[in-house]
Structure 1
Amino acid sequence: MTLVMVGVGAMGSAMGARLIERGHVVVGVDPFLAPVGSAGTSVDGVLVLHSLAAIKGQGTRPSEVLVFVRLYDQVVSVLEDLAADPWFDGVPVSVLSTLRPSDARALADRFATTRPLTEAPVSGGVLGARTGTMTVLLAGAPVSWLEDAATTVFRFEGYGLPAAAKLLNNALGAANAHALTATIEQAAGLGLDPAQMLDVVRVSSGGGWMADHFEDFPVDLLWKDFGLLHDDYSVAFPSTTIDSDLMGAVAAARHRTATERSTTGNDAAER
């Protein structure tokens, strides 16, 4: 079976290399980067062609197509090209690109009636893609590559929900990063050394992923995802002052999540 990876940037090429190591045949396509008419090249051991049409020259009909391009319009273009070519009729498609929830639902409304379609945004960065340790948020049809690419899988009942979960998590990351910067600023006002305060946070109750990766976390990607979610939903996070009802908010959130787990059975991710 042959997997076609459309989009072989840093993430796509890393994931393709991982899948090859795990025994899959992977062919890359990057019509948005490679000049039309260019010969096939190799990226991280993945053969890269310039168009979906060029796949036919490989002589084997793909078993699945994975779409890992950057923009929604590019995803639509890929799916339109697949729909226009009878050679790809019925070939399952997984969309790994990060989209607005409304865009993910629009793709499903338009294309899921003619072929198996999976919404599968991922988390874990290039290292996770290369080592097969990504987290995948999944809705739609089953896929053959999941076990070799991910160590954690969350399944959702409807299209658009994986996108919403990924974007909301990254929006929370952006809010946490903003709170951490405020902590560092206020440390100086209290006569504390800001660098030392950051070290205190890293090993104490205020710590977390943002503090651990403060020097190099991808603030541009977090803010981009905050914006994508805000396009669909007016997301906001509260500031914390002495007048905030933090205890009430925490109690309500704990009750709500516990109740949902007991009634829906959505207890944990697959690992």
Structure 2
Amino acid sequence: MNIAFIGLGSMGTPMARNLIAAGHAVAGYDPNPKALAVLSENGGKPAATPAAAGQGADVAILMVVNAVQAEQALFDGGLLAALEPGAMVVLMATCPPGAVKTIAEHVGQTGRNFVDAPVSGGVAGAEAATLSIMVGVGDAVFERISPVLRAMGDKIFHVGQEAGQGATVKVVNQLLCGVHIAVAAEGFALANKVGIDPNVILEILGGSAASSWMLKDRGPRMLQDEPPVTSAVDIFVKDLGLVLEAGREAKAALPLAAAAYQMFLATSGRGDGKADDSQVIRSYSLLNGTG
């Protein structure tokens, strides 16, 4: 297929490369000239605008930061109008379900198809084409878009027939991830307060019923002063903000998500927003006088 790929960041670049490797023709847009140069090196076609990337495309993939950027590319940047009639617009960014539904309505009014398909798996999953992709769209369009999605992920979940359902699953995923990181930091904070070696706590909990993927992944980095950044604190400020927005839309109470959000927000507010998200533990250390 001819694919327009918008958003060539740390995840978008390897996703586009995997599409090219699968035999798709990819034209890409990103405001960063270096990202466009890498796309060209990978066999893609750099475009100066979203509209130029979308010219004659059967599929448009948006791997942007948020819904606002998706709307800018589609409507202000001319991407939607440049696509072929009946083309598929695939939104893979993490966005509020309500915003996804609104974008889907506008896309549908032009006779094109909208695919709600957020991803999970991070940069590592994007590099290895092992992303989990949560898709909300009707059966016929799901069948059409599946070969494209399989070039980027090996776990494709058809979670519902409507736009916004994929976004909701991703929001639930981020709720659990954010709360798991925060509660792991809280557990370490209690151990630190009474003088227990956090390395011992990590070893015990990692092999017990209290373990989680996030504990095993973020726990060791919580014990480092300046761990390498795999996902920044500000990512969870954004994502847990989306979780709470989704809760407001659905009138669902999410008290644990709200508490975790405040801890990430406090960490960012002190200037640590670009630190690894495991460093939310710094806020717990300050609260308990152990930092």
Whether TM-score is above 0.5 comes out as yes
SS at match of 2:167: helix
Question: Contact between 1:101 and 1:229, CA under 8 Å: does it hold in 2?
Answer: no
Q: Partners of 1:173 and 1:33 in 2: how far apart?
A: 30
Q: Partners of 2:118 and 2:59 in 1: how far apart?
A: 16
CA apart distance, 1:177: 1.4
Matched, 1:123 2:117: no
1:91 alignment partner in structure 2 = 87
Where does 1:137-156 land on structure 2 (aligned, <5 Å)? 137-140=134-137, 141-142=141-142, 143=145, 144-155=147-158, 156=160
Which piece of structure 1 moves more, 135-144 or 208-217? 208-217
Matched, 1:20 2:20: yes
SS at match of 1:179: helix
Give CA deviations for 1:47-87 in whole Å, capped at 9, x if unaligned.
3222134348xxx72221111111212211222223444x6
1:196 alignment partner in structure 2 = 200
CA apart distance, 1:180: 0.9
Instruction: Note closer, same or farther for the CA distance 1:178–1:53 as it changes in structure 2 (3 Å cut).
Output: closer
SS at match of 2:156: strand
RMSD, aligned CA: 2.4
Question: Contact between 1:170 and 1:225, CA under 8 Å: does it hold in 2?
Answer: yes
Q: Which of the residues 206, 213, 225 maps onto 2:239? A: 225
2:57 alignment partner in structure 1 = 62
CA apart distance, 1:6: 1.1
Q: Partners of 2:193 and 2:50 in 1: how far apart?
A: 58
Q: Partners of 2:192 and 2:52 in 1: how far apart?
A: 60
Question: For residue 2 of structure 1, what is the amino acid of its counterpart?
Answer: N
Task: Choose between structure 1 and 2: higher helix proportion.
Answer: 2
Higher-Rg member (1/2): 1
Q: Partners of 1:129 and 1:183 in 2: how far apart?
A: 31
Q: Normalising by structure 2, what TM-score? A: 0.72
Q: Partners of 1:238 and 1:47 in 2: how far apart?
A: 41
Question: Contact between 1:168 and 1:226, CA under 8 Å: does it hold in 2?
Answer: no
1:247 alignment partner in structure 2 = none
Question: Contact between 2:243 and 2:257, CA under 8 Å: does it hold in 1?
Answer: no
2:71 alignment partner in structure 1 = 76
Instruction: Note closer, same or farther for the CA distance 1:67–1:189 as it changes in structure 2 (3 Å cut).
Output: closer
Q: Which of the residues 100, 105, 120 maps onto 2:101? A: 105
1:29 alignment partner in structure 2 = 29
Question: Contact between 1:26 and 1:47, CA under 8 Å: does it hold in 2?
Answer: yes
Figure out how many residues of one structure are paired with residues of the other and give that number.
230
SS at match of 2:161: coil
Give CA deviations for 1:152-187 in whole Å, capped at 9, x if unaligned.
122123211211111121112111112111211222
CA apart distance, 1:98: 1.0
1:235 alignment partner in structure 2 = 254
Q: Partners of 2:53 and 2:17 in 1: how far apart?
A: 18
Q: Partners of 2:210 and 2:202 in 1: how far apart?
A: 10
Instruction: Note closer, same or farther for the CA distance 1:52–1:187 as it changes in structure 2 (3 Å cut).
Output: closer
Q: Partners of 2:21 and 2:200 in 1: how far apart?
A: 43
Q: Partners of 1:16 and 1:9 in 2: how far apart?
A: 10
Q: Normalising by structure 1, what TM-score? A: 0.76
List runs of 5+ in structure 2 lacking aligned partners.
222-228, 248-252, 259-291
CA apart distance, 1:230: 0.8
Give CA deviations for 1:177-231 in whole Å, capped at 9, x if unaligned.
1211121122234442112111211122111111111116634323321111212
1:52 alignment partner in structure 2 = 50
Q: Partners of 1:13 and 1:83 in 2: how far apart?
A: 21
Question: For residue 90 of structure 1, what is the amino acid of its counterpart?
Answer: G
Question: Contact between 2:5 and 2:53, CA under 8 Å: does it hold in 1?
Answer: no
Question: For residue 63 of structure 1, what is the amino acid of its counterpart?
Answer: D
Q: Partners of 1:226 and 1:238 in 2: how far apart?
A: 7
SS at match of 2:190: helix
List runs of 5+ in structure 1 lacking aligned partners.
240-271
Q: Partners of 1:66 and 1:131 in 2: how far apart?
A: 18
Q: Partners of 2:230 and 2:37 in 1: how far apart?
A: 31
2:170 alignment partner in structure 1 = 166
Question: Contact between 2:150 and 2:156, CA under 8 Å: does it hold in 1?
Answer: no
Question: Contact between 1:34 and 1:50, CA under 8 Å: does it hold in 2?
Answer: no
